A and B are shown apart, each in its own frame.
Chain A
Amino acid sequence: MRGIITILTLAVLSACSSPVWPPERGGGMAERTPAARHAVFSKVTDSRRDRLFDRLMVLETALEAMIADGADRKARAEVNLAQKKTVRIRREIAGHLFGEAEKDLIALKERLNRIRNRIYPFNDRDEPRDL
């Protein structure tokens, strides 16, 4: 009996030498997962992620407004790229890649500004508007 216990102990100890695998974070298809959107409105989620989602929501709303004003006809490529950027940001937020999401939010804002100036041309008296 003692021999059997010894063998099992040695076998379990051998398993302790296997590598530690990283955790799962998900978010790779956050643009299609309701959970990610639901998380924006959750009261118990991480505050940084919430801020990033808030900023993303604002920019997405602005983009949708501009699309409604014809942005997809007047600046189709920029809209296309902006939409891809929102997908990327949403995935990054959901995947806890907050630093990357911060940078992409800035880039998205710049792109949306370009789209806005394309569809709302300003004259010499107007200052370029910023989102």
Chain B
Amino acid sequence: MCTAMHWFKKLIIGIAFACAASIAQAAPTENQPLQVGDVLKIFLPGEEAFDQAFQIRADGSVILPEVGEIDLAGMPLSEAEQTIRDRLSVAYRDLGRLEVSLSDRRLLIQVLGLVNEPGEVDLAATANIQTAIQVAGGLKQGAQLDRLQLRRGSLVVTFNYKEYLDTGDIAILPSLKPKDIVFVPASPLIGNVQVNFDAQTLTAAGDGTEDGTAVKVFGEVISPGSFAYKTGQSVVDLIMRAGGVTRYAGVEKIRVMNGDEPALFDLKQYLDTGDKDSLPEIRPGSTIYVPIRVEEVKSGGRTVYVMGEVAKPGAFEMTEGASFFDILANSGGPNRYAETRQLRVIRANGEVVPFDLGGYTEGRGTNQVPVIQPGDAIFVPEKADQLEKSWLKISPERAIQIIGQVVRPGRYEWSDEMSMLDLLAHAGGPTRQADMSKLQILKTGEGKASTIDFDLQKFIDHGGALSDLPVLKAGYTVMIPELPRDPSDNKAQWVRQASDRSIYVMGAVGSPGRYAFNDNLHFLDIIAAADGPRTDADLQNIRVTHRGHSDSRVTPLNLSLYFETGDETLLPRVLPGDVIYVPSRNRDWTEVPSGQMVRVIGSVGSPGRYKFDDSMTILDLLAEAGGPSADAWAEKIVVVNLVEGEPKAQAFDLVNFARQGDFGSLPVIRAGDTVYVPSIEQSDWKIFMNGVRDVVSITSVFALLGGL
């Protein structure tokens, strides 16, 4: 319908301009009225001012010498001659030989718009639109060729100059008449801002006008734009006019809008079948949209999926006999971000099969290449780099925690082929404050957690089978405890020190307190850490209490004997939890068992309790007690031995010993015994003399009474 209207309109315009052209192009005659552009020849002998041609201007007048403007347009030539004669008669007397003739007929029109030299142009009477444009300097870039206008008074005729250029059909061009205006419009694509014209870009953007007839092509085409509608164009022509489709175009679902009628066009099917009936109709103003390709969810009975860090993830049709590596290779293989140690095959039934591709390629055939079945998915996870900020990249099933005294405590990816030593090395190793003798490993599983201890220091010092190392698994936590920073400052950290890991050192030492040591440290290490015994320490009576047993266990230690003999077997094995007590020699006397002392009483310089061992004699004891005093009865020193619970006394004559030096007379003394040094007042002679004195005194009394 629209096409018929177009032809009808074209026919009417053609007829109208054909009639006009036939008149304009006829030879000028005497009776033909003059028109703008006509060139007159005025013959007036003797007047040189008329030896030139006079052309009727656009306003229909000519300018003659002496008389000025005279309107002549529309007059027949005879009438124009009479008019000229009348006007010249004012200035010239002899006009008898005046003759006016039409020497040439020309077209005086205006060419405006996008031409290089817009303005009035003087054309031959047979000139056409193309000639006029040429005289006006030609078209400028950006001219809308299919919408040129010819304006004649109020009449505006639009014609397709491009079609004329395409076909050479002269009938397409309207005929020209004087005073016509040819207007060359600008293409709407050049916009409203004057810029340097890029013909290539502009052309690619389409050549459609804004009159509603242009066909819009957009979407996934190389050069979307509005393109001038041409009869007989198909959707394929217009897509090609837009440069063709892009690689992302969804060619199966091209949409064509004709007014309110949407239609789908499958270009792929058309190209496959060549069925022209599938081509939708294209009308003026149609819209063609080429959508982006939407990936269809590929699925099927023989589809396998490859996801994650591979070159080309996607779904693949599995052929008979295709292996894991065939499928992986078809997906382009793992890319440089792939964690090849942690591949997963997700079975259709939900089972997950891990596969260590890296280990397999390195010859560590610890696992079998999984057999791929249709419906399976191969997942290649992203490599968890050390520099990766997000710790969430590693799932709990693949991570192990190491905390405490290591250089870089944290959460690390774990593989079962690694050992505890690998983990420690990866964490930067233990710090100087690490207590390697009691690593704690928190095992998790089945909703519970349990702790095991491991003496890594012993393992490092003495070696051992690698199987002795605790087996770590992902999800475990390894704790490296801390040693006290300073043994003398350990009180400040007592809270952080487990009770069962402490050794208590009390009594006469430099720094009594709680100390944490491992099982390899010696008794002397502990005493030395406590700044050693004080000068008043009773080294012979150190006691070590072993705790943590059902019964009471106390080990006496004669440290003095150790220093004397150097016998290491004297030193007890001290374990965490034990108590070391170093008594003071100045402790309260009630704390010293009587069985360890010898009591020295009586007439000595310093009576009291004295320590005594079997290497000493009574002479040592008396010397220690300050020796017998001046009133001591040294001949009768008494020693009371405790024999099988019963006292048994013996005497010792120190004076006689001093005279004779008989060591065999020294009495036996052992710890627990008592030495008594009597006073001279208790000697027999003294008692006798006292008796004599008393008798004499009494006798004297009686004698005096008798004398009276």
List of 5 A-B pairs having minimum Cβ-Cβ separation, nearest first:
A14-B691, A28-B666, A95-B668, A77-B567, A11-B692
Contacting pair B636 A11 (CB below 8 A): no
Q: List 16 A-B contacts (CB under 8 A).
A: A7-B692, A12-B688, A14-B690, A15-B691, A18-B687, A23-B650, A24-B650, A24-B665, A27-B666, A28-B668, A29-B664, A77-B565, A80-B565, A81-B561, A91-B670, A97-B648
Q: Size class of A's contact patch?
A: 35 or more
Enumerate chain B residues within 8 angstroms of A21, measured Cβ to Cβ. Answer: 636, 638, 651
Task: From B566, B613, B617, B687, give the contact of A29 (CB < 8 A).
Answer: B617
On chain A, the residues within 8 Å of B643 by CB distance are: 97, 99-100
B296 within 8 A of A: no
Q: Does any Cβ of B come within 8 Å of A35's Cβ?
A: yes
Q: Which of A10, A91, A99 contacts B644 (CB 8 A)?
A: A99
The yes or no answer to B614 lying at the interface (CB within 8 A) is: yes
Question: Which listed segment binds A: B325-333, B359-367, B548-556, B694-702?
Answer: B694-702
A52 within 8 A of B: no
A14 touches B694 (CB 8 A): yes
CB distance from B567 to the nearest CB of A (A): 3
Interface residues of A: mostly helix, strand, loop or mixed? helix
Is A22 a contact partner of B638 (Cβ separation < 8 A)? yes
In the assembled complex, B663 has its CB within 8 A of some CB on chain A: yes
**Contact yes or no, A14 B614, CB < 8 A:** no
- A62 touches B (CB below 8 Å): no
Whether B564 contacts A80 by the Cβ 8 Å rule is: yes
**Quick one: which of A12, A15, A22, A91 contacts B668, CB cutoff 8 A?**
A91
| A118 to B570 alpha-carbon distance, docked (Å) | 13
0 or 1 for each of A45-81: is its CB under 8 Å from B? (1 = yes): 0000000000000000000000000000001111011
Q: Is A94 an interface residue (CB 8 A)?
A: yes
Q: Which residue of B lies closest to A25 (CB)?
A: B650
CA distance A84 to B540 in the complex (A): 15
What mask results when residues 76 to 119 of chain B are scored 1 for a CB within 8 Å of chain A, else 0? 00000000000000000000000000000000000000000000
For the complex, is A111 an interface residue (Cβ under 8 Å from B)? no
Is there contact, CB below 8 Å, between A84 and B613?
yes
Which residues, 609 to 657 on B, are CB-close (under 8 Å) to A?
Answer: 613-615, 617-618, 636, 638, 641, 643-644, 648-653
A residues in contact with B644, CB < 8 Å: 99-100
CA distance A7 to B692 in the complex (A): 7
Check A14–B688 contact: CB distance below 8 A.
yes
Q: Which residue of B lies closest to A118 (CB)?
A: B569
User: For residue B699, which residue of chain A has the nearest CB?
Assistant: A7
Encoded as 1 (CB less than 8 Å from any B CB) or 0, chain A from 1 to 15 comes to 001001110111111
CB–CB B695/A10 < 8 A: yes
Task: Tell whether B416 is near chain A: CB-to-CB under 8 Å.
Answer: no
A112 within 8 A of B: no
Q: What CA separation (Å) do A76 and B638 show in the bound complex?
A: 36
Interface status of A17 (Cβ within 8 A of chain B): yes
A128: interface (CB < 8 Å): no
- Knowing A15-B684, A77-B562, A85-B614, the reply to whether A22 touches B650 (Cβ < 8 A) is yes
Check if A105 is an interface residue, CB within 8 A of chain B.
no
Cβ distance A9 to chain B, nearest Cβ, rounded Å: 9
In the complex, the answer to whether B695 meets A25 with C-beta atoms within 8 Å is: no
Do the beta carbons of A24 and B565 come within 8 Å of each other?
no
Task: Indicate whether A94 sits within 8 Å of B688 (C-beta atoms), given known contacts A28-B617, A77-B565, A84-B613.
Answer: no
How far is it, in angstroms, between the C-alpha of A6 and the C-alpha of B696 when the chains are bound?
10
Within residues 99 to 128 of chain A, which ones have a CB less than 8 A from any CB in chain B?
Answer: 99-100, 118
Most chain B CB within 10 A, of A26, A85, A94, A118, is at A26
Q: B614 is contacted by which of A7, A87, A95 (Cβ under 8 Å)? A: A87
Assess whether A36 is in contact with B688, with CB atoms less than 8 Å apart: no
Q: Is the beta-carbon distance between A84 and B664 smaller than 8 angstroms?
A: no
**How many Å from the CB of A4 to the closest CB on chain B?**
9
CA distance A49 to B687 in the complex (A): 38
Closest chain-B Cβ to A31's Cβ sits at a distance in Å of 9
Task: Collect the chain A residues with CB atoms within 8 Å of residue B694's CB.
Answer: 14
Give the docked Cα–Cα distance between A6 and B617 (Å): 47
**CB of B682 within 8 Å of the partner chain:** yes
Contacts of B682 in A (CB 8 A): 18-19
Chain B residues with Cβ below 8 Å from A91 are 614, 668, 670
Inter-subunit contact B652/A24 (CB<8 Å)? yes
Shortest beta-carbon distance from B639 to chain A in Å: 8
Contact between A23 and B668, CB atoms less than 8 A apart? no
Closest Cβ of chain B: how far from A98's Cβ, in Å? 9
The answer for the CA separation of A78 and B562 in the assembled complex, in Å, is 11
Chain B residue at smallest Cβ distance from A88 = B614
Determine if B481 is an interface residue (Cβ-Cβ < 8 Å).
Answer: no
Given known contacts A24-B651, A84-B615, is B567 in contact with A75 (CB within 8 Å)?
yes
Given the complex, which residues of B lie within 8 Å of A85, measured CB to CB? 614
With CB as the reference atom, state the residue of chain B lying closest to A94. B668
By the criterion CB–CB under 8 Å, are A32 and B663 in contact? yes
Contact across chains for B561 and A77 when beta carbons are under 8 A apart:
yes
B649 & A22 in contact (Cβ 8 Å cutoff): yes
Query: What's the nearest-Cβ distance from chain A to residue B638, in Å?
Result: 6
B667 at the interface (CB under 8 A from A): yes
Whether B665 and A26, one on each chain, are in contact in the complex, defined by CB atoms closer than 8 angstroms, is yes
Q: How far is the CB of B361 from chain A (nearest CB, A)?
A: 54
Please measure, in the bound complex, the distance between the C-alpha atom of A76 and the C-alpha atom of B667, giving whole angstroms: 29
Bound complex: CA A17 to CA B564 (Å): 52
Distance of A38 from chain B, by nearest CB (Å): 10
Residue contact B569 to A77, C-beta cutoff 8 Å: yes
| Interface membership of A33, Cβ < 8 A | yes
Q: CA separation between A26 and B641, bound complex, in Å? A: 12
CB-based nearest B residue for A24: B651
Interface residue B669 (Cβ < 8 Å from any Cβ of A): yes
Bound together, the chains give a CA A14 to CA B689 distance in angstroms of 9
Q: How close is B681's CB to chain A, nearest CB, in angstroms?
A: 10
Q: Nearest chain B CB to A81's CB is how many angstroms away?
A: 8
- Asked if B692 and A75 make an inter-chain contact with CB atoms under 8 angstroms apart, the answer reads no
Interface-central residue, A28, A75, A78, A95, by most chain B CB under 10 Å: A28
Using Cβ atoms and an 8 Å threshold, which residues of chain A touch B696? 7
Binary contact readout B664-680 vs A (1 if CB under 8 angstroms, 0 otherwise): 11111110000000000
| CB of B572 to closest CB in A, whole Å | 13
A32, B662: Cα distance in complex, Å: 11
Query: Could you tell me if A28 and B618 are in contact, using CB atoms closer than 8 angstroms?
Result: yes
Contact among B570, B648, B695 for A7, CB-based, below 8 A: B695
Asked whether, in the complex, the Cβ of A92 is within 8 Å of the Cβ of B668, the reply is yes
Q: Are A28 and B692 in contact (CB under 8 A)?
A: no
Query: In whole Å, how far is B288's beta carbon from the nearest beta carbon of chain A?
Result: 102
Q: What separation, in Å, do the CA atoms of A40 and B518 have in the docked complex?
A: 55
Would B695 and A26 count as touching, CB distance under 8 A? no
A22 touches B570 (CB 8 A): no
Taken residue by residue from 53 to 70, chain B's Cβ proximity to chain A (1 for < 8 Å, 0 otherwise) reads as 000000000000000000
Residues of A within 8 A of B688 (CB): 11-12, 14-15
Q: Is the CB of B648 within 8 A of A28?
A: no
